[in-house]
Amino acid sequence: MRILVVEDEPTLCRQLQTLLEQHGYAVDTASDGREALFQGQETPFDLAVVDLGLPQLSGVDVIHRWREAGRDFPILILTARGRWQEKVEGLEAGADDYMVKPFHDEELLARVRALLRRAHGQSRPVIRSGPISLDLRTRTLSVNNQPQELTAYEYRVAEYLILNPDKVVSKTELTEHIYDQDFDRDSNVIEVFIGRLRKKLDNDGTLKPIETLRGRGYRWTLATREGEAS
């Protein structure tokens, strides 16, 4: 999943980027409102974390313009402004959640996970797809209750496909959602990730969870349902 962090305080911005990257997310950053507006309109992010007190264009204005432009990714406001009136203003502009600084890392991560789940119609942290289960809290994937050793990028590909079952996902779309803007992207590497995932998730060739549609992309073929909350 790819996240945009909009924060004008350099140290905090780096801290947020590091925290999210350590938990498996691809992260882009913006330090002012105009840069954030442009990135959010041009890039298919899965979520944005936005400060309100930004130079050039306020966080509320950025959120409002994103929503007017049809950008529907989840937005978490992270700000030092804690008055209820400002919370209302931010949520009315189109944000989905609101946190006040200072914050605890685990709470921020939990809110990010919850917003991403809800964006894909899931309320629980474990998603089951046939014998395959995906735990969004621990970012682990199991087959028949046996955890699989996946690289960070293999997990990101599997997570995106499982959260978009039956959708034809192009290599370009996968590339945009698993890498940040500074990564040297090569869409051909996606084929390598898909090949590795097939071997790890379906080593006897009977399950076939990932379908290749020549010239179009890939599709997760197994029906998904929510697992247990704990």
Mark whether 163 and 110 lie in a shared domain: no
- Domain extent at residue 59: 2-119
Q: Where does the chain have alpha helices with state H?
A: 10-22, 33-42, 59-68, 84-93, 105-119, 152-162, 171-178, 188-201
Q: Considering just the CA atoms, what is the radius of gyration of the chain in Å? A: 18
Q: Which residues of 95-132 are buried (b: 16+ CB within 10 A; e: fewer)?
A: bbbbbeeeeeeeebbebbbbbbbebbebeebbbbbeeb
Domain C-terminal end among 87, 119, 151: 119
Q: In this predicted structure, what is the pLDDT of residue 230?
A: 45
Mark whether 145 and 101 lie in a shared domain: no
**CATH (domain of 222):** 1.10.10.10
pLDDT digits (tens, 9 = 90+) for 120-136: 988 889 999 989 999 99
Q: Is the CB of residue 119 less than 8 Å from the CB of residue 220?
A: no
Indicate the number of domains in the chain. 2
CB neighbours of 203 closer than 8 A, spacing ≥ 6? none
**CATH (domain of 30):** 3.40.50.2300
Q: Considering the entire predicted model, what is its pTM? A: 0.87
Mark whether 145 and 89 lie in a shared domain: no
Domain C-terminal end among 86, 102, 119: 119
Mark whether 180 and 92 lie in a shared domain: no
CB neighbours of 117 closer than 8 A, spacing ≥ 6? 123, 124, 125, 136
pLDDT interval class at 77 (50, 70, 90): very high
Q: In this predicted structure, what is the pLDDT of residue 182?
A: 63
Mark whether 197 and 142 lie in a shared domain: yes
